[in-house]
Amino acid sequence: MDGREVPVPTPETKHFWDGTARGELLLQRCDSCRAVYFPPRPFCPACASRTVSVFKASGRGQLHSYTISHRDVPGYKAPYAIAVVELEEGPRLMSNIVDCPQTPEALRLDMPLEATFRQISETIWLPQFRPAGARP
């Protein structure tokens, strides 16, 4: 829409992006060894089992680390944080922290976060995070 990078789902990741369009953050769990993992793939990275299940994550997590970019890119006006969020279920994923000043003072490591979903194209909703309990 604005020249920004838009994910192109593959057969192995389509369920994830279908989930975010419904406002759900989906993870996968191995039915054999119970490992929870991300990014999506139809087999377990811990034990190689092909018997895995998709489940809805809580959407809760903590701010693991981040940088604050001071360069504008399509879809982003500097300064903005590029963050890694550790989900309650264990896996980490890259994201942005929204509804929060993009400053070191406001962005405290380990602060509790909750998922929110932003539409960036006709079909893609990007999972982002905001401080837990923050008003959008």
Partner 1 sequence: MSKHRAAIVGAAETTLMGTVPTMSQLQLHCDAALNAIADAGLTPADIDGIACAEEMPWLVAKHLGITPVWVDGTDVGGCSYIMHLSHAAAAIAAGLCTTVLITHGESGRSQVGVGPLDMKWTDMHRQFELPYGVWGPPSLFTIPVLRFMQTYGLTEEQLAMVHVVQRQWAALNPRATLRDPIDVDGVLSSRMVCYPFRKLMCCLVTDGGGALVVTSADRAKDAPGRPVYLLGSAEALEMPMISQMEDFTSSKAFRVSASRAFERAGIGHRDVDHLMIYDAFAHLPIYGLEDLGFVRPGEAGAFIAEGHTAPGGELPTNTNGGGLCYMHSGRYGMYALQEGVRQLRGTAAAQVPDAQISVVHGVGGMFGAGATAVLTNQ
Residues that bind partner 1 (CB under 8 A): 4-10, 13, 39, 64-71, 73, 75-76, 79-80, 82-84, 92-96, 104, 109, 120, 126
Closer of 74 and 133 to partner 1 (Cβ): 74
Q: Please, which residue, 95 or 116, has the CB nearer to partner 1? A: 95
| 8 Å CB contact between 71 and 105 | no
Nearest approach, Cβ of 14 to partner 1 (angstroms)? 11
Shortest Å, Cβ 55 to partner 1: 18
> Residues 85-109, buried b or exposed e (16+ Cβ, 10 A)?
bbbebebebebbbbebebeeeebee
Q: How far is CA 77 from the centre of its chain?
A: 20
Least Å from the CB of residue 122 to partner 1: 15
Residue 7 or 114 with smaller CB distance to partner 1: 7
Shortest reach from residue 90's CB to partner 1, in Å: 12
Number of C-beta neighbours around residue 3 at 10 A: 8
Query: Does residue 56 contact residue 29 with C-beta atoms inside 8 Å?
Result: no
